[in-house]
Amino acid sequence: MTTPILLFLDINGVIDVEDTDVQGENLPQEYSTVYPVPGTKEFLQVIDSCSWIHPVWISTWGKQSQAWNKWAKTRCWPWAYPLDSDERHQALDLIGHGSDKYLAARWYSRDWQHRIVWIEDGFWLSSLYDSSMGAAVKWAENNSNVKLIDTAPTVK
């Protein structure tokens, strides 16, 4: 049996990257033009077809993230971010500090006992300028069940 994975997936900077070489598309529900990375539709469909992957949007798009599911013709996935006011206060009480996305990831996964993968742009770059995002990096460093995948280019 394959170990379940909770997959947090960001949108902007991960699957939606404005690039002059990629033609923009309109998502369902009349959103502004987006720039899906080549292969995004297939990527979302593969994730959706894997029963051991439990995908969750963690994007400023919030509930509107599900427009990507409609575009890719997959099930609508839940979203973890942004937290509502009550959840944010409870997350702060339970976790302490961190960026809003970090708090959302920790709050959403608080009862999850298996692997967690979080795909985001700029974990390490953000942590250099924003100590609250550094909490996500420390979380992964201190928890072998947590894997962060950073889509931002490495600074040299």
- Parent domain of 9: 5-150
Which residues, 6+ apart, have CB-to-CB distance to 64 below 8 Å? Answer: 29, 31
Cut 0.85: pTM above it: yes
- Residue 155 is assigned to a structural domain of this protein: no
Domain of 96, CATH number, reads 3.40.50
Q: What is the pLDDT of residues 26-49, one digit of tens each?
A: 776 666 788 898 999 999 999 999
Amino acid at 18: E
Q: What is the pLDDT of residues 90-122, one digit of tens each?
A: 999 999 888 899 999 999 999 999 999 999 998
Res 156: pLDDT: 42
Nearest to 56 by CA among 83, 25, 89, 85: 83
Res 132: pLDDT: 53
Q: Which residue has the higher pLDDT, 64 or 152?
A: 64
Q: How many domains does the chain have?
A: 1
- Residue 156 is assigned to a structural domain of this protein: no
Strand locations in the chain, DSSP E? 5-9, 25-26, 33-34, 53-58, 79-81, 115-120, 146-150
